[in-house]
Amino acid sequence: MFHGLLLQDISVGSGEKFFVRGVSLVVPAGELHILVGPNGAGKSSLLKALAGHPDYAVSAGEFFLDGENLLEMTPEERSRCGLFLAFQSPVPLPGVALGRMLQVARQERQPKGAPIDVRAFYGELCNAMESLGMERSWATRFVNDGISGGESKRCELLQILLLHPKYLLLDELDSGLDMDAVNLVAETLEKLRRAGTGILCVTHRQSLLQTLNPDRIHILREGRLLCSGGMELAEELHVRGFQGF
């Protein structure tokens, strides 16, 4: 069986409103791919559709994760299969503590009726927070409530470390970050890639291409995949810009 994300001829939207048309690409386990394109190219819509957002229905095509057909699943089932979407601007959840949410998310991954080891979980949570330079008080803060752009990215990374997804969909994970934070993101992603995680990272910033050192680059414009290639595409993009493709 092939280990990876497999998008076959995916279209999102219908009628007058198409976000993405006929996108096919493969992200094997342990590789980092970048989907780059100008604003409005359909990058975010594609990621939301893959994660099962009700407002972004996949209207044609197929989507597999390690051979499993994800399009037939609810968003929570896709998540439990190992798919994680890191949001560009995560929605605030006032009243919901970060630690509590993660605990429930872990509980929901257990077979019916099996409890999680709460102490072990909180130990793991503390370690993960430390590795991201987050104070312990984050565990009781409300998810995405009243936090800066940089902080919200850290929270997304923390969730990745705790939920152990097999594949990541990252939506502009670098936006609003200073150079130190971008390096922290890059380091964390590199560790995950080496550990076998497959990563599809969406950005409109060409500068990230160098920092992340991707295995492959895909260029999306006006909802269509224009071309895919290795690092040489980054060079070409730098010279010609998106309009050159």
Partner 1 sequence: MAVDIDFSSSSGDFSYATTYAHDAGCGLGEETVRYISKLKEEPEWLLQFRLRALKVFERMDLPKWAPLKKAQLDISKLHCYLSQGERPKTDWEDVPQEVKQTFDRLGIPEKERKFFAGVEAQFDSEMAYANLQESLRAQGVIFVNSTEGLLHYEKCFRPFFGTVIPVGDNLFSALNGAVFSGGSFIYVPEGVKVKQPLQAYFRINAERFGQFERTLIIIDKDAEVTYLEGCTAPKFDSDTLHAAVVEIVALPGAKMRYITVQNWSNNVYNLVTKRAIAHENAEMRWIDCNIGSKLTMKYPAVILEGEGASGSVLSISVARDGQRQDTGARMIHRASNTRSRIVAKSLSIGDGDSTYRGTISMGRDVENCRSYSRCDAILMDDKSISRTFPHIDCRNDRCIVEHEAAVSKISSEQLFYLRQRGIGESQALSLIVNGFFDELIREFPMEYGVELKRLIEMEMDAGAGRKREGARNVC
Amino acid at site 82? G
CB of 91 to partner 1, least distance (A): 4
Check residue 26 for interaction with partner 1 (CB under 8 A).
no
Please select the residue that binds partner 1; options are 44, 79, 152, 197, rule is CB under 8 A: 79
Please select the residue that binds partner 1; options are 100, 116, 190, 228, rule is CB under 8 A: 100
Please select the residue that binds partner 1; options are 51, 161, 170, 233, rule is CB under 8 A: 51
Q: Which stretch binds partner 1 (CB under 8 A): 17-25, 75-83, 133-141, 237-245?
A: 75-83
What is the C-alpha to C-alpha distance for residues 111 and 108, in angstroms, rounded to an integer? 8
Q: How many residues bind partner 1 (CB under 8 A)?
A: 32
Q: Which stretch binds partner 1 (CB under 8 A): 91-99, 146-154, 190-198, 199-207?
A: 91-99
Residue whose C-alpha is closest to residue 138's, from 126, 124, 148, 150: 126
Q: Which stretch binds partner 1 (CB under 8 A): 23-31, 62-70, 104-112, 186-194?
A: 104-112
Q: Which is nearer to partner 1, 16 or 55 (CB)?
A: 55
CB of 48 to partner 1, least distance (A): 8
CB of 148 to partner 1, least distance (A): 18
Long-range contact set of residues 8-11: C-beta below 8 Å, sequence gap at least 24: 8/61, 8/62, 8/63, 8/64, 9/60, 9/61, 9/62, 10/46, 10/49, 10/50, 10/58, 10/60, 10/61, 10/62, 10/63, 11/58, 11/59, 11/60, 11/61
Check residue 80 for interaction with partner 1 (CB under 8 A).
yes
Supply 199's token pair.
């990563």
CB of 75 to partner 1, least distance (A): 4
Helix (H) or strand (E) holding 98: helix 98-107
Instruction: Describe the chain by its helix, strand, coil percentages, rounded to 5.
Output: 40, 30, 30
Check residue 73 for interaction with partner 1 (CB under 8 A).
no
Check residue 197 for interaction with partner 1 (CB under 8 A).
no
Query: Which residues, 106 to 125, sit near partner 1 by CB under 8 A?
Result: 108-109
What is the C-alpha to C-alpha distance for residues 33 and 131, in angstroms, rounded to an integer? 24
Supply 238's token pair.
């730098």
Chain Cα centroid distance, residue 162: 14
Q: Is 10 within 8 Å of 49 (Cβ atoms)?
A: yes
Check residue 91 for interaction with partner 1 (CB under 8 A).
yes
Chain Cα centroid distance, residue 8: 19
Residues that bind partner 1 (CB under 8 A): 51-55, 74-76, 78-80, 84-85, 87, 90-91, 93-97, 100-102, 104-105, 108-109, 142-143, 159, 163
